Amino acid sequence: MKNPASEEPDERLTVTKPKEWAAGVPAVTHALEYSLDQTSVSRVGTTLLSINQVNGIDCPGCAWADPSPGHRQLNEYCENGAKHINDEATSRRITSDFFRRYSVSDLNQRSDLWLNQQGRLTEPMVKRPDSDHYEPISWPDALGLLAGELKGLDSPDEAAFYTSGRVSNEAAFLLQLFARAFGTNNLPDCSNLCHESSGFALAETLGTGKGTVSLEDIYHADLIFLVGQNPGTNHPRQLSALEEAKHNGARVIAVNPLPEAGLMRFKNPQKPRGIVGRGVQIADRFLQIRSGGDLALFQGMNRLLLEAEDVRPGAVLDHDFIRSNTSGFEEFSRHARTIAWEDILAATGLAREEIEQAADDVMRSERVIVCWAMGVTQHRHAVPTVREIVNFLLLRGNLSKPGAGACPVRGHSNVQGDRTMGVWERMPDSFLDGLRKEFGFEPPRAHGVDAVNAIRGMRDGRIKVFVGAAGNFVRATPDSEVTEDAMRRCSLTAHISTKLNRSHTVCGRTALILPALGRTERDIQVTGEQFVTVEDSMSEVHTTQGRLEPASRTLLSEVAIICRLARLTLDGEADIPWDQFEGDYGLIRDRISNVIPGFQHFNRRVVRPGGIRLPNPVNEGVFHTRTEKALFTCNAWQMSEAPEGHLVLQTLRSHDQWNTIPYTDNDRYRGIHGSRRVVLVNPQDLSRLALAEGQLVDLVSVWGDGLERRAEGFRTVPYPTALGCAAAYYPETNVLVPLDSVAEISNQPTFKGVVVRLEPAAEE
Ligand SMILES: Nc1nc2c(c(=O)[nH]1)N[C@H]1C(S)=C(S)[C@@H](COP(=O)(O)OP(=O)(O)OC[C@H]3O[C@@H](n4cnc5c(=O)[nH]c(N)nc54)[C@H](O)[C@@H]3O)O[C@H]1N2
Ligand SMILES: Nc1nc2c(c(=O)[nH]1)N[C@H]1C(S)=C(S)[C@@H](COP(=O)(O)OP(=O)(O)OC[C@H]3O[C@@H](n4cnc5c(=O)[nH]c(N)nc54)[C@H](O)[C@@H]3O)O[C@H]1N2
Ligand code: SF4
Ligand SMILES: [Mo]
């Protein structure tokens, strides 16, 4: 489909050579350009001076950690962080006039980029069942309408409450509390689409779903793997940390089908040599892996380590660590030796020497860290792949010691915190018991729906009310046509949002826009000015406090919206002081202290400079697994070959977008300008498929259910990607990802492994 309509491949498309380095002076220029286009010099000044500072605004971009308080620069942000913060701080406003002018159908014809560029939402709006326009509604009426709809459901499980990782700890804690007091665990979140596979694999093998490393560990590692992530675009300040690690002598191995600019070279705009020099080489070794080949790669390296130990007993493996901290080694060791090299080479597309050289690097290193992101988690074999990464770390005792460990690099700034706060459809009984003890109600125990099952539930009529706390559910999820139909079948959809997006234009019969304060804005309640807290990818919890005047006087904070909705819906059923929570967020934190381990004296500790680092038991050598030890696992896999004439498509981010929201049509580092409807293909594949450079094609995905999924009108761009692997941007290609194409065990959509054919399309 052409979704959203009017997004033709743009005649302005130009393609230049991909960049071989990231950041530098152009990054600063682009950040300022975008920021100043959104708002005034003084607001840009305010946001940029307080971003990521102690007592400042936590960057609303990614979850990369801040350096410790004494080590922060005055400009502790990256190009993209500046764009993200000023995208929120924009001076543009959407008022009720806007919705009078544009019907919902009109808006649905507009691109994602256009919708976002209209500015901040300023007042609550409702779309009634018989109307194609949003119209103003007061807060009490809007929340009363939603509460009435919730109370009228036959079962609480007919509602689902989605959370995106921008939401603060306080709001997330209240949202899950409300959903559970209402009676459902239907709490899908963006984590279901993001690091769910990591969570499952790490919890099973290490007993915690979180990463084990800190920034200090990165600085002091000998060897760092960057697997399936594009730090130059998605976690730019990771490059500063890698620069420091390299300065201290670390080597870096990048594993990726694409030679991403940030993996190759980094020019730190805050250092003189980054401005005038050639910058720092990041990857010492680049393994250009085939899509989905990472499990085979780590198995290959593990086999080499075991065999090297056979030759030099006692010199390769960390037997002390294995003996005292792990279980399942013997079985793993037998299994690892049965994996055939020809399968490993076919799956990875690498030469055996490349894998051997990487294994040699490993054997020369005392402290190894593996970082990974969506290139690992959004595949069918994602959970076994992360388990195999754990095997790899365990073999040489690269856990529970400084400079080593597992580093799943998280996406949204508070996605990890939202999980810690209980936003998960399957929280363990220990957490639910804690809620019961603290609040005196019996939380439901049956697991709720995740994102994929929420779509199935809406599609099949089991879920009728959808409430989204931040995010853009219809664009973030797979199978866009199926998902859009599912959303439209709801009796009511409501979104707590800062900016307009597709989830407001593809909506239920009744739809509500509940506009919220953003992180940049001052939040004043009856007891005074409030702050909220977030947790980064390295388990550091700290405060964030807005500085700007709110975009409109009508906005409510996320906390206030949830408290008022809960009060109206629950009619005092559970003994929860929603009014007091709304007035004083410290009272919410007191309750968090009582319910969630690691948060004792939360209010007192979190205001210290740098905040709290949550303990990770793995770093104390404690593993809460079924054997109370770290588990070695045996991970079988099937080769997934694309049929002849097909490619494996990965759907990824451009440099100039924040998830579902493009900021411009450019992707500077990859040399794409003026259009996002492009598909990057290896030149050899183009000629094998008899396609020309710049040819117009439709992408058609192949899945066993007989449905044709088609994304129309993409230009081919010859690109140095691994053979057999194509790449195109998300969310335009989500239409191609079948809802049932999910990772084993974690149920995470396989956004990086979509089998497609490229069909030549007629030029208009
Ligand atoms: N500017 C910006 N920053 C962001 C975001 C954003 O949209 N814009 N989003 C945030 C969020 S929520 C997230 S989750 C993170 C995402 O951060 P990333 O995971 O870096 O995001 P993607 O763009 O999905 O890129 C995936 C990378 O994996 C590689 N890859 C794809 N398939 C494979 C494979 O099979 N094996 C290997 N080894 N590599 C593979 C791709 O080539 C690409 O480099 O970024 C966060 N930061
Ligand atoms: N094909 C494909 N699909 C993917 C992915 C992929 O790699 N490929 N990646 C997946 C991943 S990793 C993720 S995390 C999801 C992202 O999915 P989401 O988190 O659902 O999407 P976002 O685009 O981050 O949501 C943007 C919207 O959030 C709202 N918002 C922003 N800030 C705030 C705030 O402070 N408060 C409130 N209330 N609202 C706010 C704005 O209205 C904005 O329009 O997408 C997933 N989908
Ligand atoms: S690296 Fe991430 S958190 Fe840091 S400034 Fe950039 S976008 Fe923000
Ligand atoms: Mo994400």
CATH code of the domain containing 711: 2.40.40.20
Q: Which residues line ligand 3 (CB under 6 A)?
A: 59, 61-62, 64, 77-78, 80-81, 84, 235-237
**Which residue, by CA, sits nearest to atom 2 of ligand 3?**
62
**Which residue, by CA, sits nearest to atom 3 of ligand 3?**
62
Averaged pLDDT score across all residues of the chain: 95
Of 375, 408, 441, the domain-final residue? 408
Q: In whole angstroms, what is the distance from residue 1 CA to residue 257 CA? A: 27
**Which residue, by CA, sits nearest to atom 8 of ligand 3?**
81
- Ligand 3 atom closest to Cα of 59? 8
* Banded model confidence at residue 113, pLDDT cuts 50, 70, 90: very high
The candidate with the shortest Cα–Cα distance to 715, out of 670, 751, 676, 684, is 676
Assigned domain for 158 exists = yes
C-alpha 488 to ligand 4 mean position (Å)? 25
For 558, other C-beta atoms within 10 Å of its C-beta total: 27
- Ligand 1 atom closest to Cα of 258? 42
pLDDT tens, position by position, 46-56: 888 888 888 89
80, 164, 506: residue to mutate for ligand 2 pocket, most atoms within 8 A of CB: 164
C-alpha 66 to ligand 3 mean position (Å)? 9
Cβ atoms of residues 562 and 171 within 8 Å = yes
Residue 377, Ramachandran bin (φ over 0: left; ψ between -120 and 50: alpha; else beta):
alpha
User: Please, which residues bridge with residue 714 across strands?
Assistant: 697
Assigned domain for 240 exists = yes
C-alpha 426 to ligand 1 mean position (Å)? 26
pLDDT tens, position by position, 464-486: 999 999 999 999 999 999 999 99
Q: In whole angstroms, what is the distance from residue 687 CA to residue 690 CA? A: 5
Assigned domain for 4 exists = no
Instruction: Assess whether pLDDT exceeds 80 at residue 512.
Output: yes
Percent of the residues in the chain that have a pLDDT greater than 90, as a whole number? 87
Assigned domain for 629 exists = no
Assigned domain for 634 exists = no
Looking at residues 114-118, what average pLDDT do you find?
A: 98
pLDDT at res. 274: 65
Find out whether the beta carbon of 233 lies less than 6 Å from any atom of ligand 1. yes
Assigned domain for 93 exists = no
Same domain for 550 and 690?
A: no
C-alpha 567 to ligand 2 mean position (Å)? 28
Q: Which ligand is nearest to the CA of 120?
A: 2
For 98, other C-beta atoms within 10 Å of its C-beta total: 17
The candidate with the shortest Cα–Cα distance to 336, out of 361, 362, 305, is 305
pLDDT tens, position by position, 705-748: 989 999 999 999 999 999 999 999 999 999 999 999 999 999 99
Q: What is the DSSP string of 267-306?
A: E-TTSHHHHHS--EE--SEEE-PPTT-HHHHHHHHHHHHH
Domain that holds residue 450: 101-191+414-615
Same domain for 316 and 343?
A: yes
Same domain for 595 and 726?
A: no
Same domain for 175 and 203?
A: no
**Which residue, by CA, sits nearest to atom 12 of ligand 1?**
411
pLDDT at res. 8: 53
Q: In whole angstroms, what is the distance from residue 91 CA to residue 109 CA? A: 24
Same domain for 658 and 584?
A: no
Same domain for 176 and 272?
A: no
Same domain for 355 and 375?
A: yes
**pTM (2 decimals)?**
0.97
Q: Which ligand is nearest to the CA of 79?
A: 3
113, 234, 377: residue to mutate for ligand 1 pocket, most atoms within 8 A of CB: 234
**Which residue, by CA, sits nearest to atom 5 of ligand 3?**
77
Of 88, 113, 143, the domain-final residue? 88
First to last CA, the chain: 16
pLDDT at res. 6: 45
Using the 8-state DSSP alphabet, how is residue 471 labeled?
S
52, 78, 84, 415: residue to mutate for ligand 3 pocket, most atoms within 8 A of CB: 78
Same domain for 303 and 281?
A: yes
Assigned domain for 621 exists = no
CATH code, 347: 3.40.228.10
The CA distances from residue 7 to 3, 471, 618, in Å, are 7, 22, 48
User: Please, which residues bridge with residue 193 across strands?
Assistant: none
Of 64, 88, 112, the domain-final residue? 88
Find out whether the beta carbon of 166 lies less than 6 Å from any atom of ligand 2. yes
Same domain for 248 and 169?
A: no
Amino acid letter, residue 309? E
pLDDT at res. 664: 96
The CA distances from residue 381 to 49, 213, 685, 743, 750, in Å, are 43, 24, 25, 6, 9
Find out whether the beta carbon of 255 lies less than 6 Å from any atom of ligand 1. yes
Find out whether the beta carbon of 732 lies less than 6 Å from any atom of ligand 1. no
Q: In whole angstroms, what is the distance from residue 704 CA to residue 588 CA? A: 48
Same domain for 266 and 208?
A: yes
Looking at residues 591-599, what average pLDDT do you find?
A: 97
Assigned domain for 12 exists = no
Q: Which ligand is nearest to the CA of 87?
A: 2
**The token pair that represents 299 in the structure block:** 């198995």
Looking at residues 627-648, what average pLDDT do you find?
A: 92
The candidate with the shortest Cα–Cα distance to 517, out of 162, 122, 50, 83, is 122
Helix (H, G, I), strand (E, B) or coil at 542: strand
pLDDT tens, position by position, 416-454: 999 999 999 999 999 999 999 999 999 999 999 999 999
Find out whether the beta carbon of 349 lies less than 6 Å from any atom of ligand 2. no
Find out whether the beta carbon of 63 lies less than 6 Å from any atom of ligand 1. no
Cβ atoms of residues 363 and 305 within 8 Å = yes
* Banded model confidence at residue 3, pLDDT cuts 50, 70, 90: very low
pLDDT at res. 68: 87
Please identify which residue in the block is written with the tokens 């094998």. 688
Contacts (Cβ under 8 Å, ≥6 apart) of 651? 727, 728, 729, 730, 731, 733, 734, 736, 737, 751, 752, 754
Same domain for 294 and 392?
A: yes
Find out whether the beta carbon of 228 lies less than 6 Å from any atom of ligand 1. yes
**The token pair that represents 671 in the structure block:** 């040399």
Domain count of the chain?
Answer: 4
C-alpha 374 to ligand 1 mean position (Å)? 5
Find out whether the beta carbon of 230 lies less than 6 Å from any atom of ligand 1. yes
Looking at residues 325-346, what average pLDDT do you find?
A: 97
C-alpha 281 to ligand 3 mean position (Å)? 21
Find out whether the beta carbon of 670 lies less than 6 Å from any atom of ligand 2. no
- Ligand 2 atom closest to Cα of 652? 7
Same domain for 397 and 522?
A: no
Q: In whole angstroms, what is the distance from residue 171 CA to residue 163 CA? A: 10
